[in-house]
Chain A
Amino acid sequence: MSRRRTSATGTTGTGAIAPPTQHRFELLRQMTRIRLFEERCVELYSATKIRGFLHVGIGEEAVATGVLTVLTAEDSIVSTYREHGHALVRGLSMDSVMAEMFGKVTGCSRGRGGSMHLFDVGHRFYGGNAIVGGGIPMAVGIALADRMRHQTSVTACFFGDGAYAEGEFHESANLAALWRLPLLFCCENNLYAMGTAIEHEQAETDLALRAASYGMASWSVDGMDVAAVEEATRHAVERIRAGDGPCFLELRTYRFRAHSMYDPELYRDKAEVGHWRERDPLELLTAAMRADGELDEDAFEAMTAEARAEVDRAVDTAEQAPFEPVEDLTRFVYSEAVGPGPTRAGEEGAGS
């Protein structure tokens, strides 16, 4: 098996080929939706409408958008507790995600999961997992099931650089490579495991190098450049669908906001954040489109206004939605004969 590694260098991405205008605009639209949704979530948290832990991925939108734009409705996704972006790009309605944040019964997990546990089996979105690394073995199993049934589906598993230190990642990487499973490891390296900088938690910080040691094709990608993420994903997914086994993408990104709403950010200085903000994935894309004369400013403005309106509607809908009756507390501890979603519902589930 050939192994290829490239490392992200400089600040201009990997020289990805610019996709057609309409497609670039759609990528911009998805990133805008995520950004506006999460900015509103932060406000709603301060207003105590959203509680528990809230982890926003502001700054990391290009990863979710670039990866998921490549996947089809038959593919599966396993994500982390910082998964709003993945859910929205995958096609979960913003209404159902916002209602979940509010803990309402109309939420995508009936208000049982909250921000960290968004589920939608119809979209093959198998959660928000809040145990760091805990979703990875499960993703191996979903890929195994697809493989055993001779399907060409790919499972994309998101996790962070923190999870890379967990045994569950290394056990899973070995197993997936050993069995040549159709699994895409998407390591969102935002340089901090909560508040611990990567150089303080990883003996070797070249994560793609180490992943390659499992016999997986592995690449480091500029995770702030949505076109680069998309191109790398497309390349990896082609290999996986061809039966070449799992691939690993280290998506180098950065979260502009705190780890959670409780994080005073004592572990990094503002200058570093400022430096990364200069590489804001939304601004990189709009700048590139402008430079290519591809950004219709009126359409951009209208799209942003529509995304804002979508967030407004989601908030209004969530505000008005009912809570699950307390009498239902113990429902679904065990499966019900007739539940809201069978094991493998939504075979027609919408893609991104």
Chain B
Amino acid sequence: MSTTLVETTYREAMREAMREAMQRDERVFLMGEDVGAYGGCFAVSLGLLEEFGPERIRDTPLSESAFVGAGIGAAIAGMRPIVEIMTVNFSLLALDQIINNAATLSHMSGGQVSVPVVIRMTTGAGRQLAAQHSHSLEGWYGHIPGIKLLAPATVEDARGMLWPALQDPDPVLIFEHGTLYPMPGSLAPDAAPVDISRAAVRRPGKDVTLLTYGGSLPKVMAAAEELATTGIEPEVVDLRVLRPLDDETIVGSVRRTHRAVIVDEGWRTGSLAAEITTRLVEQCFFDLDGPVQRVCSAEVPMPYAKHLEEAALPQVATIVAAARQVVSG
């Protein structure tokens, strides 16, 4: 590893990951709405068209079902497509392809068909984009066997998750929280691929485990720092992989701290937070010193007005309050 770190952003790290993948493997190509001439709706693929040309950076019509399905078909036939969907809300237009095809083909064919496609999409709220561009539907996808879900929450993961995802023989969905794109960070110029099977402890602690993923991680880290000033030392676990969940890291942390707060931007009902709560109850109930707490989004379609959107989302203050309640239990 080089010792000279390079200042970058989450967005640039993701772009660099795509560039490297395209350079390393000629089977890799990118397709999606406005990924080429426009440079990507969130400028993630800016400049890649000029570098790799229109055969490998493919602008598509606004036909989510067709181009996601085409990614699945191309993967089956030996390519390694990266399909970009503008937002998780738009991915609903391709649900048939993702769930009825990508997730089923291996099992339904008796193991003959592998679908090594990577589907990237923006997720989450916080940018006043209202109720059709802001939701967090990772939990829905987490219900589906046959697909794998990644949620990079750091610059390192934005840089390092794509290559192993492309090496995976199964469909991998990568959820990129929209508020993270401008997040700064530093990387080694030869930053390596990361392990996409494990959760990560982002901050060691002993009093309570704060479990989260994606766009909520910076809020949870800020909450942890605030709690630390009052003598509570939280451990922060970044789930990173939303399916299959890394039970060992999740349960291992809670066994040490005996308390858990799950911070999930999805709605509470039927959420990833609900699934994790259940796993904790099943696997370490007798290690818990009190009830598991959840900090989730209010159960409303995401509103536009800034004060309402903020009120609907997990915030540092609500995370701190939940952690205090669990610790003082």
Q: Which chain A residues have a beta carbon within 8 Å of chain B's beta carbons?
A: 76, 78, 107-113, 117, 119-121, 126-127, 129, 131, 134-146, 148-149, 167-168, 171-172, 174-175, 178, 331-336, 339-345
Q: A335 touching B169 by the CB < 8 A rule?
A: yes
Chain A residues with Cβ below 8 Å from B81 are: 141
Closest residue on chain B to residue A343 by CB atoms: B114
Q: A109 touching B73 by the CB < 8 A rule?
A: no
Which residue, B73, B75, B101, B145, has most C-beta atoms of chain A within 10 A?
A: B73
State whether the Cβ of B154 lies closer than 8 Å to any Cβ in chain A: no
Assess A137 versus B111: contact at CB under 8 Å? Given A131-B100, A171-B65, A343-B78.
no
Q: What separation, in Å, do the CA atoms of A136 and B100 have in the docked complex?
A: 13
Assess A148 versus B55: contact at CB under 8 Å? Given A126-B76, A138-B72.
yes
Q: What separation, in Å, do the CA atoms of A333 and B170 have in the docked complex?
A: 9
Q: A109 touching B78 by the CB < 8 A rule?
A: no
Q: What separation, in Å, do the CA atoms of A270 and B108 have in the docked complex?
A: 37
Q: A168 touching B76 by the CB < 8 A rule?
A: no
Least distance between B59 CB and chain A CB atoms (Å): 10
State whether the Cβ of B9 lies closer than 8 Å to any Cβ in chain A: no
Q: B69 touching A140 by the CB < 8 A rule?
A: yes
> What are 29 residue pairs bridging A and B, where the CB atoms are less than 8 Å apart in the complex?
A109-B110, A113-B108, A117-B108, A119-B108, A120-B112, A127-B108, A134-B69, A134-B101, A136-B66, A137-B65, A137-B68, A137-B69, A137-B72, A138-B97, A139-B73, A141-B70, A141-B71, A141-B75, A144-B79, A148-B55, A148-B79, A171-B61, A172-B70, A175-B66, A334-B146, A343-B76, A343-B114, A343-B169, A344-B77
Least distance between B143 CB and chain A CB atoms (Å): 13
Chain B residues with Cβ below 8 Å from A139 are: 73
Which residue, B101, B106, B107, has most C-beta atoms of chain A within 10 A?
A: B107
Q: A333 touching B146 by the CB < 8 A rule?
A: yes
Q: What separation, in Å, do the CA atoms of A333 and B115 have in the docked complex?
A: 11
Assess A127 versus B96: contact at CB under 8 Å? Given A137-B72, A343-B116.
no
Chain A residues with Cβ below 8 Å from B101 are: 129, 131, 134-135, 138
Give chain B interface residues in 95-121, CB to chain A under 8 Å. 96-97, 100-101, 105-114, 116
Q: A110 touching B113 by the CB < 8 A rule?
A: no
Chain A residues with Cβ below 8 Å from B69 are: 134, 136-138, 140-141, 168, 172
Instruction: Kindly identify which residue among A78, A119, A129 contacts B110, using a CB–CB cutoff of 8 Å.
Output: A119
Q: What separation, in Å, do the CA atoms of A2 and B97 have in the docked complex?
A: 32
Least distance between B285 CB and chain A CB atoms (Å): 25
Instruction: Kindly identify which residue among A140, A144, A340 contacts B112, using a CB–CB cutoff of 8 Å.
Output: A340
Chain B residues with Cβ below 8 Å from A333 are: 106-107, 145-146
Least distance between B136 CB and chain A CB atoms (Å): 24
Assess A140 versus B70: contact at CB under 8 Å? Given A121-B113, A335-B114, A344-B78.
yes
Q: A142 touching B76 by the CB < 8 A rule?
A: yes
State whether the Cβ of B325 lies closer than 8 Å to any Cβ in chain A: no
State the 6 A-B residue pairs at the shortest beta-carbon distance, nearest first: A137-B69, A141-B73, A110-B110, A171-B66, A145-B77, A171-B63
